[in-house]
Amino acid sequence: MTAKLSYILQSSTAQEAALRMDQDNASALVVLDSNETPVGVVTHRDLVRSSCIEGVPCNSILVQDIMSTPIVTIDPYSPVEAAADVMKQNNVRHLLVVDSDTPNKLLGILSSRDFALYIENENEEK
């Protein structure tokens, strides 16, 4: 999992989301409502689909209109196989890792890239 999370408000534009992703070198952003409560996730893929494929200017698209919601989560003590199953069942490429005692406390994000790195490390150890 990546412990460094990047955030954006749901009222932000897709252009602002793309800039934040670039600045933070992130493939996904946690989307917050006006109370700074996590309400979704926006990814590079969401940006490409909404702007490039649909042909809509990215400065006129709101993050709230393209984000994935509800948030799909997993606790930090779940086995890797369980995380992969949750991603597959929910058809998502990013899972938010939440504190099992405080479900609203975000600890990190797990992406398909993290799985690739995990498998690579496992193979190196053998």
Instruction: Give me the pLDDT at residue 121, please.
Output: 82
What is the tens place of the pLDDT at every residue in 47-98? 988 877 777 888 999 999 999 999 999 999 999 999 999 999 999 999 999 9
DSSP conformation class of 34: T
Residue 17 within any structural domain of the chain: yes
CATH number at residue 14: 3.10.580.10
pLDDT at 103 over 80: no
Mean pLDDT confidence for 7-22: 97
Residue 57 within any structural domain of the chain: yes
Domain count, the chain: 1
Residue 18 within any structural domain of the chain: yes
List the beta bridge partners of residue 73: 96
Q: Quick check: pTM over 0.85? A: yes
Instruction: Give me the pLDDT at residue 122, please.
Output: 79
Residue 2 within any structural domain of the chain: no
Q: 């494929």: which residue's tokens?
A: 53
Domain boundaries, position 104: 7-125
Q: Is 55 helix (H, G, I), strand (E, B) or coil?
A: coil
Residue 69 within any structural domain of the chain: yes
> pLDDT averaged over the chain?
90
**Among 12, 14, 20, 23, CA closest to 50:** 14
Instruction: Give me the pLDDT at residue 115, please.
Output: 84
Residue 117 within any structural domain of the chain: yes
pLDDT at 125 over 80: no
Residue 1 within any structural domain of the chain: no
